[in-house]
Chain A
């Protein structure tokens, strides 16, 4: 995976007081690599690919072995072109700061004028309101410009969220595995409490290949059988943020029929 960033956040959903939790930045994420020897998987792919290469791999590798790759690094010192949109962002920031100053000044004036209470100054007050409205309109225009520049740059990514632990013990660990890549998400007591009170936890947020993925999702902790995993299929759409919600409200950890509810949406 291109990014190993793992975010954890528990969100308040119920009216009860539940503390929202957001953590697990890069510096707290640990990666442990383990090695296990297994028999090679002999199953044939459904759609054969790169057949010529595979059929003639000895010849092609021999040809490649005859080559020598020379890497040359050339560093040129010169001015770099800056994306004009970043300059525009700077201008926008300056405009926003200036607007803030204007609003502050207007606020101060308004406070002073409360003391004056003169009917003749109502016209000035209206002009100030109009000016603030114009500033808001400018802000809206800037936001639209930013959206136009930066929307559409979304890369293929997948977010997995968990919910539905009300009335049951939340697990201490969530394990998400696919093709030898295992992500273990430890839940803190505060996060588990939040989940048990109806909260939602984001346990996975990574760039993924735009294809159908089959994850084995497992849970560890009190009341959760260690060996059981749930296969979950999700089709990650290219250049979109795919959300996969796993609802465990109807899941019986001790039963054979797991009853996992899934929901997928895209942004």
Chain B
């Protein structure tokens, strides 16, 4: 996982999102809307990835979340950006991602953020004037010991330090690893 160190670090994520008057919600709260849309696109569509499309608040909610579904039948992935209980954007992914479907049971973004903050996130932010830049849910990519696990990855960044990754097991909220890269 040292390759994380070489990641292009999505500094654009650092730009504060202009949520405006839009209501914030947890990642799971927008899932039904996205899933309904995806099932219209492809009956076999399965959720394979999600991330915040606008800044995540201290309570783990955001005004917009992005959900990525994959259809085996179509061999395509399609993303849905949900805001205010509606699909704001729907577009095919321009590159191939054959990720495994996420597990049905996963802790919501609020619990994931709380777990990450308690373990290392809050300390990182306090010490280096950092902030949470992104949080994403994926299966298999970040948990070396349990590749079948669906995990939250919370990415903190600071202007003076390399970013901090906190990986949270989405089945139980345990922080399984932290790494700087």
**B41 and chain A: residue at smallest CB distance:** A209
Let me know if A211 and B90 touch, CB within 8 A.
Answer: yes
Q: A51-B12, A64-B97, A64-B99 are in contact. Are A155 and B36 (CB under 8 A)?
A: yes
Let me know if A64 and B91 touch, CB within 8 A.
Answer: no
- CB-contact partner of B89 in A46, A52, A64, under 8 A: A46
Chain B residues, Cβ within 8 Å of A69: 100
Q: Is A57 an interface residue (CB 8 A)?
A: yes
Chain B residues, Cβ within 8 Å of A61: 95-97
Chain B nearest CB from A244 CB (Å) reads 16
Q: Which of B30-60 contact A (CB under 8 A)?
A: 33, 36-43, 49, 51, 53
Let me know if B97 and A57 touch, CB within 8 A.
Answer: yes
Q: A53-B51, A57-B95, A63-B142 are in contact. Are A2 and B40 (CB under 8 A)?
A: yes
CA distance A51 to B138 in the complex (A): 14
Let me know if B43 and A2 touch, CB within 8 A.
Answer: yes
Chain A residues, Cβ within 8 Å of B147: 66-67
Chain B nearest CB from A47 CB (Å) reads 5
Q: Which of A11-67 contact B (CB under 8 A)?
A: 40, 45-53, 55-57, 59-64, 66-67
Q: Which of B97-115 contact A (CB under 8 A)?
A: 97-100
Chain B residues, Cβ within 8 Å of A156: 36-37, 40
> A168-199 interface mask toward B, CB cutoff 8 Å, 1 = contact, 0 = none?
00000000000000000000000000000000
Let me know if B49 and A210 touch, CB within 8 A.
Answer: no
CA distance A113 to B141 in the complex (A): 83
CA distance A1 to B64 in the complex (A): 25
> Helix, strand, loop or mixed for chain A's interface?
loop
Give the size range of A's interface with the partner: 20 to 34
Let me know if B140 and A67 touch, CB within 8 A.
Answer: yes
Chain B nearest CB from A194 CB (Å) reads 30
Q: Is A106 an interface residue (CB 8 A)?
A: no
Give the size range of B's interface with the partner: 35 or more
> B1-28 interface mask toward A, CB cutoff 8 Å, 1 = contact, 0 = none?
0011011101011000000000000000
Q: Is A207 an interface residue (CB 8 A)?
A: yes
- CB-contact partner of A210 in B13, B33, B155, under 8 A: B33
- CB-contact partner of B100 in A56, A67, A155, under 8 A: A67
Chain A nearest CB from B168 CB (Å) reads 16
Let me know if B36 and A2 touch, CB within 8 A.
Answer: no
Chain B nearest CB from A157 CB (Å) reads 8
Let me know if A52 and B64 touch, CB within 8 A.
Answer: no
**A48 and chain B: residue at smallest CB distance:** B53
Chain A residues, Cβ within 8 Å of B179: none
Chain B residues, Cβ within 8 Å of A64: 97-100, 140-141
Let me know if A53 and B136 touch, CB within 8 A.
Answer: yes
CA distance A69 to B148 in the complex (A): 9
- CB-contact partner of A239 in B12, B36, B51, B66, under 8 A: B36
- CB-contact partner of B33 in A2, A56, A60, A238, under 8 A: A238
Let me know if A51 and B13 touch, CB within 8 A.
Answer: yes
Q: Is A161 an interface residue (CB 8 A)?
A: no
Let me know if B96 and A50 touch, CB within 8 A.
Answer: no
- CB-contact partner of A207 in B40, B88, B90, B142, under 8 A: B40
Q: Is B176 an interface residue (CB 8 A)?
A: no
Q: A49-B89, A50-B53, A67-B147 are in contact. Are A60 and B138 (CB under 8 A)?
A: yes
Q: A49-B53, A51-B12, A238-B33 are in contact. Are A208 and B40 (CB under 8 A)?
A: yes
Q: Which of A68-115 contact B (CB under 8 A)?
A: 69
Let me know if B10 and A51 touch, CB within 8 A.
Answer: yes
B residues with a Cβ closer than 8 A to A are: 3-4, 6-8, 10, 12-13, 33, 36-43, 49, 51, 53, 64, 66, 68, 79-81, 83, 86-91, 93-100, 134, 136, 138, 140-142, 147, 155
Q: List 9 A-B pairs, Cβ < 8 Å.
A: A2-B40, A49-B81, A49-B89, A51-B10, A59-B4, A63-B142, A67-B100, A209-B41, A211-B87
- Given A55-B8, A64-B100, 4 new contacts (CB under 8 A): A47-B81, A62-B3, A64-B99, A67-B141
